[in-house]
Structure 1
Amino acid sequence: MQRRDFFKLSLAASAVALTTPASALTREPIDSQSVSKVAFPEKRPLITYSDRPPILETPIEVFTKAITPNDEFFVRWHMPRIPTHVSIDTYRIKVSGEVENPLYISLKELKSDYEQVELTAVMQCGGNSRSAFVPTTSGIQWGNGAMGCASWKGVRLKDVLKKAGLTKDANWIGLNGDDKASFHKTENFMRELELHEIKDDVIIAYEMNGEDLPYLNGYPVRLVLPGSFSDSWVKMLSNITVMKEYKELYYMDTAYRVPDNECECETPDNLSKKTKPITTMNIKSVIGYPTSNTRIDANSNVILKGVAFDSGHGIKEVLISVDAGKSWSPAELGKELSLHAFREFKFAFRPKSKGNMTLMAKAINTLGEEQPFAKDIQWNHGGYKYNGIDSVTITVV
């Protein structure tokens, strides 16, 4: 089985402006970007920020269900040179470094020589909802759609490392894929994990929602790291290097970092000198329906729908406000597919008065952690980890 000349199927895509005016002290994430008229292969038309590398956002109305369809799942690549075809006959995952038995694992061997596991988990970019920060930060000005939840199938990374046999000097695992930088002096994308981070639920996945991984989501295999932001979910995984010591990397030591203080915050005039990498996700919920600017008839029956998640502790409750946060009522929660999955919620209400109406959703997890109001979110220069209470304003007519 081969996939050839992938990008020749679709070479053009519409670009969306990456800048947003900082016109207020606080604001909600921008979810009004236009969906592109051009669809990438294996995808429906999505919000397009770039076609080289592909950067695509899921429209907010998709987030009314716990599972995000493959063809609507967001896409985030860092390197512009992505292989345009993959030959499964020759594709190998190389395992080397501080191991007793170096491995070159084919996809066939991955499926036959190891225990197969499945798990349902949220994948979310660390910059999701970045457009909410004021002043504007660097990076893609995502709305709420740089996330998705899927059922992943593959093998445990632990099992692969066990078969390779770690030496006594093994402390770090380096992972990188087949995407490449355009210039030889540009560092390729690579992530490093300490051995203690390799839990039983960290897998090398080759299926997503019962199908082969979509090409743009990392075909043929990618790392799945539940509870962690997606910068560590390496796509088109080709090399696993076991190391004695940590190796300094741009995407570990400069990018994807927040201030190393209690609030993980700073100001534009006083940037934090000490930083730390973003790791586990914080609690979050979004409203998928109705969306902002939806027009609804007065006295009609409306069912608000959305999804909530955290880093894996589990969602205990989602509260809904139909009066801009003055009062709150519990939503009905859907089935818990896993502690790492989206948890559906819905809330029935009947708007009586005509005019604008502000709806809000606030998630609370089993630890008692809850989403803060947007006005209480503090700034960081990378625009990471935004999780303010979601808010939409509808018009009742």
Structure 2
Amino acid sequence: MPTERPRDTRHREIDAIVEAKAGGVAETRDEADKYTVLGAASRRTFANWLTPIEEHFVCHRNDIPDADADAWTVSLTGGLKGTLSMTDIREKYPTVAVAHTMECAGNGRGQHRPETGSVQWDCEAAATAFWTGTPVSLILREYGVTESEGQWLTTVGGDPSDGDDIFARSIPLEKALDDCVLAYEMNGEPLPREHGYPVRLIVPGWYGVNNVKWVEELRVMDSMVTEGSLERPGEHAYWQQRSYRIYPSGSEPDENETVETYDTWTQLEGAVEYPYTFDANVMSLIGAPSGESPAEVRPDESLKVRGVAWAGDDGVDRVEVSTDGGETWDDAELFGPDYAGAWRLFRYDWDTRLGRHTLLSRATDDLGRRQPSRISDPDVWRDALENDEYPWNEGGYAANAYEPNGVDVEVRARDGRDVGE
């Protein structure tokens, strides 16, 4: 099992990233003092479609490797045989850019009661960026991979562990052939070190853990990664088969070589006993007003509510906004860019009144699945979704309840008078 010892270099690394990102991110608590975790410093990040690099969350568990792009290679193994240099990746294949809403699978973990372990994210670990690189499909097909049925692509990260574990994640080969990219640029700039320089796997619409940083190996396999399935020493399967799975307190998930569905919500409904975190559940966040300061309006002036909503591999069909803590709901308008795997903007013009209000948003995907209202108690499991709750789980993964993400807003008159004057 991977070690959870504090990293001596962690705080220096965090300080350097915060400085480089000019205050766009802030540190989030990690119980074990093991991970580097930085989330958006302001809710205002979620009022815009494109997330600046300075505001994009950061999460990794080991030290950033001291990578030299000129010397870096990606090994092709399993059903593949070969090696790619960064020059190969950049120049041998056509270049594409994909929009991707990346959300940490642990986003919302800090909203679980009782608290679970690890990084205590609230809602700050989500972002949308453009990632430029080489389609994985072109590489795989050049090396003879044309059929995807029943096969998996395992990606191994090159970040050095302080234990015996290897960071390896498997995704279905059909997803890899569909829209995945080996990225070397982010928002039109060279890929930053903390985001995976020199090359990172991008899996549009899927939780961040699948988007392996510092890629050093791609392996085509007949199953997901299991213990001992890689031709290298160390522990192979922890980050696929134990961590980043959704299970109730006291459970011990068994290894699976494959699953029939990759849709996280469908797995939660019973398709997989202890679901894997692949594509992101339907989710929304209000970015403005942020609640960080009073909102000021003139008489008869509406207040503009803005936010973002996403649904992994699925589309966002509807966003509703409540300005009274969930008593009543109105439809918001979806607008702006509409890319598969990326969030949509929504807006709602609120004819407000002075005073204090709780704003909520809830999204529904194009399969009719709507965000639940709250996170359940630990003793509720399969019945949670039927009760309009998201199931409390040991790892705090894939939470998408809307009540914990509400925004408390004080509305004042623009002329400076306090409420009640």
TM-score per shorter chain, which class?
0.7 to 0.9
- What residue in structure 2 maps to residue 325 of structure 1? 326
CA contact (8 A) 1:176 1:239 kept: yes
- What residue in structure 2 maps to residue 286 of structure 1? 285
- What residue in structure 2 maps to residue 122 of structure 1? 101
* Alpha-carbon displacement from aligned partner over 1:242-273 (angstroms, at most 9, x marks no partner): 335543201111100013xxxxxx3x4x6476
Alpha-carbon distance, 1:276 to partner: 3.0
SS at match of 1:288: strand
- What residue in structure 2 maps to residue 388 of structure 1? 401
**What code does the residue aligned with 1:334 have?**
F
**What code does the residue aligned with 2:410 have?**
T
* Alpha-carbon displacement from aligned partner over 1:6-32 (angstroms, at most 9, x marks no partner): xx9x93646xxxxxxxxxxxxxxxxxx
- Is 1:366 paired with 2:366? yes
Are residues 41 and 296 of structure 1, via their aligned partners in 2, closer, same or farther at CA, if it must alter by over 3 Å?
Answer: closer
SS at match of 2:352: coil
* Alpha-carbon displacement from aligned partner over 1:96-152 (angstroms, at most 9, x marks no partner): 2323xx322222221221122221111111110111111111121101111111111
Question: 1:7-156 counterparts in 2 under 5 A?
Answer: 11=12, 13=14, 39-42=18-21, 44-49=23-28, 53-59=35-41, 60-79=43-62, 81-84=63-66, 86-99=67-80, 102-156=81-135
Q: C-alpha distance in 2, partners of 1:304/1:42?
A: 27
Q: C-alpha distance in 1, partners of 2:39/2:147?
A: 43
Question: 1:187-202 counterparts in 2 under 5 A?
Answer: 187-202=165-180
**What code does the residue aligned with 1:136 have?**
E
Residue number among 149, 157, 162 corresponding to 1:182 in the alignment: 162
- What residue in structure 2 maps to residue 31 of structure 1? none
- What residue in structure 1 maps to residue 262 of structure 2? none
Alpha-carbon distance, 1:365 to partner: 2.1
* TM-score for both structures, normalised by structure 1: 0.81
Q: C-alpha distance in 2, partners of 1:378/1:154?
A: 37
Alpha-carbon distance, 1:330 to partner: 1.7
Larger mean CA deviation between 194-203 and 172-181 belongs to 194-203
CA contact (8 A) 2:153 2:172 kept: yes
**Structure 1 residues not aligned, in runs of 5+:** 1-7, 15-36, 260-265
Q: C-alpha distance in 2, partners of 1:52/1:255?
A: 15
SS at match of 1:39: helix
Q: C-alpha distance in 1, partners of 2:35/2:17?
A: 15
CA contact (8 A) 1:78 1:189 kept: no
CA contact (8 A) 2:155 2:218 kept: yes
Q: C-alpha distance in 1, partners of 2:18/2:323?
A: 36
Alpha-carbon distance, 1:187 to partner: 0.2
- What residue in structure 2 maps to residue 208 of structure 1? 186
Are residues 349 and 166 of structure 1, via their aligned partners in 2, closer, same or farther at CA, if it must alter by over 3 Å?
Answer: closer
Larger mean CA deviation between 304-313 and 191-200 belongs to 191-200
- Is 1:346 paired with 2:347? yes
Alpha-carbon distance, 1:44 to partner: 3.6
SS at match of 1:149: strand
SS at match of 1:87: coil
Q: C-alpha distance in 2, partners of 1:374/1:155?
A: 40
SS at match of 1:316: strand
Alpha-carbon distance, 1:167 to partner: 10
**Structure 2 residues not aligned, in runs of 5+:** 1-8, 228-236, 254-272, 376-388, 412-418
* TM-score for both structures, normalised by structure 2: 0.77
Q: C-alpha distance in 2, partners of 1:61/1:96?
A: 43
SS at match of 1:336: coil
Larger mean CA deviation between 361-370 and 164-173 belongs to 164-173
- What residue in structure 2 maps to residue 239 of structure 1? 217
Q: C-alpha distance in 2, partners of 1:319/1:166?
A: 44
SS at match of 2:275: strand
Q: C-alpha distance in 2, partners of 1:312/1:140?
A: 25
Q: C-alpha distance in 2, partners of 1:282/1:313?
A: 9
Q: C-alpha distance in 2, partners of 1:62/1:281?
A: 19
* Structure richer in helix, relative to its length: 2
**What code does the residue aligned with 2:98 have?**
L
Alpha-carbon distance, 1:42 to partner: 4.9
Q: How many residues align?
A: 353
Are residues 332 and 244 of structure 1, via their aligned partners in 2, closer, same or farther at CA, if it must alter by over 3 Å?
Answer: closer
